[in-house]
């Protein structure tokens, strides 16, 4: 089986014939080009944190400065870093993503979203609200503080091995020279150090440099790569927002239809019913015309009752006027079985949440009457922190299964539209409980 080609420096270290590959040289190029980025980050962080530098200098020399002045400097330094730091971190992050290709063949992309408007303020508002921007600022701080320390430690190790290898040339007889962990005075005494240096320089140093470059690259990728996670997160946010807009638009359209039917079609139907009633009085009793008008009059009254019921089903007026608890109590009074309502709401909730809870209760009570053979049901409506809890219990035979029909699935879908959830407990033999949680903060 063919071994896949390593995509990163860390993957290459564990492969055979690593020293014969190009990865040590790619790592060396990456480490060599880190110095300008680290110096840029250090200068920028020093300039932004200059008040902190002054404050630390006071503490090291004299700490008799007023507390208010020291606190002002601390707040000023922190504010400058938080306010201006992201503007300097973003160009540096762009450069670092380009350099990362030296030791990482995987694609790397920024996690920034496009602004909602093509204006500078919209761009700033979007950037300062993104997690990717603050990760880039964190990377800048690491480049100015931690990275120089790590590079310095590795550089000292490489320098020490180089001194070991060149020690026979550096030592002159009669003069004592310190070689890290020991002192030598003659060329003969340097031979063990020279052998160690000549052996480790071509073998240990490539692994050491590649490990450092790989760790640095992994840190850079973790902080600077947006990738699919950022895109998915942005798409999820947009889907949530669009769903909220669709819910609001649907609720507004339903109210418009209700208003048009109530103020238009229903009023005209009422007028037609009255005219038919008056015409019925003017016709001779028992005549064919009177019988036809009487039939039309009864049909008009029946149609008006059906239209009134239809309008009530679109959006009940009691829900608009008196709130969810009163609307649920009206549902209970019209149910085919005894329904007890426990309402603990003290105020009004968002319209779309009240409408969703109302229709969930209505559908659940309809299912109870049709399928459960229950004699009694209870509805509890309460608000817990920022969530509306609606519970429907019945003493029926249980065994409710969402896979057996579309009723329970439709309830779950209606609840999910407003980012809520529905829980069902219905063992065979009963009882059945439906618990719905809706966000209402």
What pLDDT, in 10s, does the model give residues 157-186? 998 888 888 878 877 666 777 776 777 777
2 belongs to a structural domain: no
297 & 366 share domain: no
pLDDT of residue 31 exceeding 90: yes
Number of structural domains in the chain = 3
First to last CA, the chain: 57
Lowest mean pLDDT among 123-132, 230-239, 267-276, 392-401: 230-239
pLDDT at 208 exceeding the cut of 70: yes
pLDDT tens string 252-306: 666 666 665 656 666 676 777 777 777 767 777 767 777 777 777 777 777 766 6
Pick from 225, 257, 286: which residue ends a domain? 225
Q: How, if at all, do strands 421-425 and 432-439 pair?
A: antiparallel
Tell whether the model's pLDDT for residue 408 goes beyond 80.
no
Question: Peptide bond preceding 41: is omega within 30 degrees of 0, i.e. cis?
Answer: no
Give yes or no for residue 72 having a pLDDT over 70.
no
Distances (CA, A) of 261 to 276, 300, 330: 21, 15, 22
In a domain, 376, yes or no: yes
- Residue at which a domain ends, from 314, 339, 371: 314
pLDDT recorded at residue 2: 47
Question: Could you tell me if 20 and 67 lie in one domain?
Answer: yes
- At residue 98, the pLDDT reads 92
Q: What angle do CA 66, 72, 75 make, to 5 degrees?
A: 145
**73 Cβ contact partners less than 8 Å away, ≥ 6 residues apart:** 51, 52, 54, 55
* Percent of all residues in the chain with a pLDDT value above 90, rounded to a whole number: 13
Mean pLDDT rounded to a whole number for the chain: 79
- Is residue 173 located within the same domain as residue 237? no
* pLDDT at residue 348 tops 90: no
Residues 308 and 321 occupy one common structural domain: no
Tell me, yes or no, whether 147 lies in a domain. Answer: yes
What is the pLDDT, as a whole number, of residue 238?
64
CB 133 within 8 A of CB 226: no
Same domain, 395 and 432: yes
pLDDT of residue 7: 87
CATH number of the CATH domain containing 384: 3.30.565.10
Query: Per-residue pLDDT tens for 39-60?
Result: 998 888 888 877 766 666 666 6
CA distance 167 to 192: 10
| pTM score of the predicted model | 0.52
Q: Rounded to the nearest 10 degrees, how much is the dihedral formed by the CA atoms of 114, 119, 125, 128?
A: 70
Query: Which of 253, 280, 314 is a domain's end point?
Result: 314
1 part of a folded domain: no
Tell whether 398 is covered by a domain: yes
Instruction: Determine the Cα–Cα distance for residues 321 and 252; give it in Å rounded to an integer.
Output: 16
Average pLDDT over residues 15-35: 90
Q: Looking at residue 371, what is its pLDDT?
A: 80
**Together in a domain, 393 and 369:** yes
Is residue 30's pLDDT more than 70?
Answer: yes
Q: Which of 8-12, 68-72, 246-250, 409-413 has the lowest mean pLDDT?
A: 246-250
What are 99's two structure tokens? 């350099």
Phi and psi angles of residue 435, each rounded to the nearest 5 degrees, phi first: -120, 125
Residue 114 backbone phi and psi in degrees, to 5: -70, 140
> For position 1, what pLDDT does the model report?
41
**Cα 28 to the chain's mean position, in Å?**
38
Q: Same domain for 292 and 408?
A: no
CB of 85 within 8 A of CB of 140?
Answer: yes
Q: Which of 62, 58, 86, 61 is nearest to 74 (CA)?
A: 58
Together in a domain, 197 and 247: no
Check whether 337 has a pLDDT greater than 70.
yes
Query: Can you tell me the mean pLDDT for 311-319?
Result: 64
For residue 9, which of 129, 99, 115 has the smallest C-alpha distance?
99
Pairing of strands 183-184, 177-178: antiparallel
Question: 45: domain range?
Answer: 9-225
Cα–Cα distance between 326 and 140 in angstroms, integer?
A: 58
User: Does residue 387 lie within any of the structural domains?
Assistant: yes
CA-nearest of 438, 425, 349, 420 to 392 is: 425
Q: Give the residue from 164, 160, 158 showing the smallest Cα distance to 197.
A: 164
Q: Does one domain contain both 202 and 87?
A: yes
Please state the φ and ψ torsions of residue 8, each to the nearest 5 degrees: -130, 165
Both 168 and 305 in one domain: the answer is no
The lowest-confidence range among 203-207, 217-221, 343-347, 420-424 is: 343-347
């Amino acid at each position: 089986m063919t071994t896949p080609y390593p995509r990163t420096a860390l993957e290459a270290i564990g492969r055979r014939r690593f020293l014969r590959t190009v990865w040590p040289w790619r790592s060396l190029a990456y480490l060599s080009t880190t110095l300008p980025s680290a110096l840029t980050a250090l200068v920028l962080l020093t300039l932004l944190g200059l008040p902190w530098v002054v404050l630390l200098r006071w503490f090291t020399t004299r700490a008799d400065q007023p507390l208010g002045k020291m606190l002002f400097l601390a707040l000023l330094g922190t504010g400058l870093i938080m306010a201006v730091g992201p503007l300097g971190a973003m160009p540096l992050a762009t450069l670092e993503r380009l350099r990362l290709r030296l030791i990482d063949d995987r694609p790397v992309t920024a996690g920034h979203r496009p602004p909602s408007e093509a204006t500078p303020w919209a761009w700033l508002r979007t950037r300062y609200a993104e997690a990717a921007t603050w990760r880039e600022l964190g990377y800048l701080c690491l480049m100015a503080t931690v990275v120089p320390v790590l590079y310095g430690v590795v550089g000292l190790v490489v320098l020490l091995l180089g001194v070991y290898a060149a020690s026979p040339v550096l030592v002159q007889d009669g003069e004592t020279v310190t070689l890290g962990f020991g002192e030598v005075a003659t060329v003969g005494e340097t031979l063990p150090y020279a052998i160690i240096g000549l052996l480790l320089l071509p073998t240990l140093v490539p692994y050491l440099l590649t490990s450092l470059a790989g760790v640095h690259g992994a840190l850079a990728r973790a902080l600077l790569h947006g990738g699919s996670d950022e895109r998915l997160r942005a798409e999820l946010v947009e889907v949530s927002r669009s769903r909220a807009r669709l819910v609001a638009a649907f609720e507004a359209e339903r109210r418009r239809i209700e208003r048009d039917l109530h103020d238009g079609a229903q009023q005209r139907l009422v007028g037609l019913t009255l005219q038919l009633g008056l015409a019925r009085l003017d016709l001779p009793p028992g005549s064919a015309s009177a019988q036809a008008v009487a039939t039309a009059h009864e049909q008009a009254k029946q149609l008006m009752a059906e239209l009134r019921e239809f309008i009530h089903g679109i959006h009940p007026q009691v829900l608009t006027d008196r709130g969810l608890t009163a609307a649920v109590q009206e549902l209970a009074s019209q149910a085919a079985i005894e329904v007890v309502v426990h309402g603990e709401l003290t105020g009004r909730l968002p319209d779309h949440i009240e409408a969703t809870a109302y229709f969930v209760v209505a559908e659940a009570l309809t299912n109870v009457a049709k399928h459960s053979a229950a004699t009694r049901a209870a509805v509890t409506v309460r608000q817990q922190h920022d969530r509306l809890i609606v519970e429907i219990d019945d003493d029926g035979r249980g065994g409710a299964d969402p896979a057996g029909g579309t009723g329970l699935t439709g309830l779950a879908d209606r609840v999910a539209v407003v980012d809520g959830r529905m829980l069902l407990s219905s063992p065979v033999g009963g009882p059945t409980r439906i618990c719905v949680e809706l966000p209402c903060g």
